[in-house]
Amino acid sequence: MLQLQGTWRSHLKSEFDKPYFKALSTFVQSEYAGQSCYPPIHQLFNAFNSCSFEAVKVVIIGQDPYHGEGQANGLCFSTNEGMAHPPSLRNIFKELEVDMKLSYPASGDLTEWAHQGVFLLNTTLSVRLKEAGSHQKYGWEDFTDSVIKTLSKQKTDLVFILWGSAAKNKKSLIDTSKHFILESGHPSPMSANRGYWFGNKHFSKTNTFLRLKGKSEIKWGNFI
């Protein structure tokens, strides 16, 4: 059985008894037993364990974990220390350099963002090795949609950062009258190189909003 610990569990407890989640749990355990899957099973809920419900200030929505060997660590767009930066992450860091006047980070591990209140949520929390999208439509999306709706309902003045069409499709789950939404193209090379990503200034815009709401800003760079 998949287990989510901490205060997140109390906010999402109604999901765990639903038929879809029981079927999802069986599917995921079977996949991890018979296939090479990522992130490691103990990091499936790393986004939740690294950023408590109470601490969330910013939500970045991704899609699948990275499907290369040893890349994914359970945080969207993040990769393990020492791994080469995937193309989307490279473009995120390039925008960060220009927007925040920071040096390009050496590490692709975004755990320090999470520790500051950036909830790095993939809409599908697992994937087979070298098979992008292989765990989509087995129930993860039902669960993560519920997570987004719960955050929207129970909290106020969050920054939701939606990069690309898949993330933008989640906007309907968010109460835009009580939260700040930032949208742009996806940081993948195909989108970024066509002019839909660079220059969005989402990092500085997020900090401006947090400052106006009396919240501490995010230290986006130089965290390693």
Task: State how far the Cα of 76 lies from the Cα of 72, in Å rounded to an integer.
Answer: 8
The active-site residue out of 64, 99, 109, 157 is: 64
Structural contact between residues 75 and 110, judged by C-beta atoms closer than 8 angstroms: yes
58-62 vs 118-122, strand pairing mode: parallel
Tally: H helices and E strands in the chain: 9, 6
Q: Is 157 marked active-site? A: no
For residue 60, give the H/E element and its range. strand 58-62
Within 8 A by CB and 6+ apart from 11, the residues are 53, 150, 154
Residue with tokens 């087979």: 128
Residues belonging to the active site: 64
